[in-house]
Amino acid sequence: MEFKDKRVIVTGGTKGLGKAIASTFAQAGAWVAANYHADTKSAETAESELKQITNNVIISKTDVASKDEVDKFIKSVINQWEHVDILVNNAGIIRDKFLMFLGEDDWDSVIETNLKGTYLCSRAVIKPMIAQKFGRIINMTSPSAVTGRAGQTNYSASKGGIISFTKSLSKEIARKRMCFPVSYLWGGLEALMMLPALCFSWLPRKPGTLPDKC
């Protein structure tokens, strides 16, 4: 699978799983842009480590729950690199509490970062990707989206919403009969192993509904 010179955006890509994803793409020859929300120290460390792998790195302080900030970030990447090939919606937070103790702020912050952030970032890249007739969007979700977990009504709802969002968006793209997969993926080590397949091949589909070749 060839990632050389592909332009990749990884939200929340300066620590944890996001950092590992960004590093994996960089090692494969991709140009990597990543955002962070508040942890400047981790962002600086990630930038330094990524630049040891590739010179093509953009790190931006961007709140994925803010339309203005997301649009500015995506436009900046496109202006500098001409296009974006792959978006990994990885940014997410948790505010775990049992529902009886879960405040409105705890609910809103998780939904806005995890679900609204996925919407805003996808929306910002969708037109440029359609115009260039190429793109990949991978949305990170969680087993909690399907199984549920005590203390995670907000998180489970956000990740379940991402699955439904992804399925609906993939149908919109399919109507245009373009080679443009939109996929969701659980977090963890398996995510790193699955990325190449999701970026370069279609998921199982009904024959005749999408292009046969990418």
Please give the positions annotated as active site. Answer: 155
Residue in this structure with the two tokens 């439904």, named with its chain if needed: 164
Kind of pairing between the strands at 182-186 and 136-141: parallel
**Between the CA of residue 35 and those of 42, 44, 62, 90, what are the distances in Å?**
11, 11, 6, 10
Residue in this structure with the two tokens 């400047």, named with its chain if needed: 40
* Residue 23, token pair as written in the block: 């590093």
Kind of pairing between the strands at 136-141 and 31-36: unpaired
Are 110 and 154 contacting, i.e. CB atoms less than 8 angstroms apart?
yes
